[in-house]
Amino acid sequence: MPSESIYIGLISGTSLDGVDAVAVDFSADQVNLLASHLEPYSMHLQRSLRSICLPGENEIDRLGELDTQVANTFADACHAVLDKAGLQYKQIIAIGSHGQTIRHRPKAKHPFTLQIGDPNTLAELTGVTTVADFRRRDMAAGGQGAPLVPALHQALFQHPVHKRIVLNLGGIANITCLPSEKDGLVLGYDTGPANTLLDRWIEQHLAIDLDHKGEWARSGKVQDALLQELLADTYFNQPPPKSTGSEYFNLEWLGKKLAQINYANEDVQATLLELTAVSVAHAIAREGYSQSEILVCGGGVHNAYLLERLSTRLPESTIRPTSEYGVNPDWVEAITFAWLAKRTLAGLNGNLSSVTGAAHDEVLGGIYPSSL
């Protein structure tokens, strides 16, 4: 018989580098991270996913095959995280799988969002009940389908007296505004790019995956004219609810902004990092949280220069990683989807309509039963 409290959470984000996997014990309403694992995508799969994220030829056939390929990698991630935790599949209640987003079009005439990583294949390969396709029910109710992590942020980090911000610096940056428990609604939305442009730019010019601690950006000089051109994009001034992804903020988007001006590559990197700092700071100030605690999670927590620039832009805030509040910042999103699977099986909502703009809170996801 499975444990009554252990779940696996899986997500691959806009970095398209691989699958974050966690095994989590939710006993006694606590979040106990038993093990974590990053299962990298092969270079071929990375290239295929980046290609399918943009319009191209023969999309349906390519999509169908990638759906299965991604599911196989997600299953490999499950095997690895269970090995690290010393667990067997029979001890797992369910897998919560976000999948891999390849399109997110909340502003389309007929809004849609699409995540691949076939949950039928994942349930078959693992023998574990799988909960997936979390975003589309919220969108069907008129929401953005994202972000979904604020519901967990509220459960873990809301303070009875002080208001807080939870800032996720993944490929895309998003904020969760947590009022004190007696005050107001939880709000949250994507503020714009975080790591996605930084990673793609350094990969293009230095052939490495990321800017370690932001040192390449630190070596450059912010180009104010370019920064203002980037900030002039209509997304930054759109009111919430709003969400975005790398299908919008990508090198093609950046290339149009660069136009014919020939900036030094490190100056572009410095300006992209400043774009993240400014857009996040503006959003936090706009919501009235510029004098609050800011709890940071996601890969950007390791970018020391980005955190410095955020501190400069938000001098009245205290900025700390979520690890100081008991949750490893690298695994918050994967934990979220383990938690959402638990909520789905219990018939509880996984979205916050005040965040996504849905007409009401909803039970999210489809359930793909165990094959055992």
For residue 3, name the pLDDT band (cuts at 50, 70, 90): low
15: pLDDT strictly greater than 50: yes
For residue 55, name the pLDDT band (cuts at 50, 70, 90): confident
Q: Which domains does the chain have, with CATH numbers?
A: 6-144+331-368 (3.30.420.40), 150-325 (3.30.420.40)
Rounded CA-CA distance 331/47 in Å is 24
Rounded CA-CA distance 14/91 in Å is 31
Give the model's pLDDT for residue 1.
42
371: pLDDT strictly greater than 80: no
Nearest to 74 by CA among 104, 98, 102: 98
> 297-348, pLDDT tens digit by residue?
999 999 999 999 999 999 999 999 999 999 999 999 999 999 999 999 999 9
> 114-154, pLDDT tens digit by residue?
999 999 999 999 999 999 999 999 999 999 999 999 999 99
Dig out the tokens for 126 from the structure: 């693992």
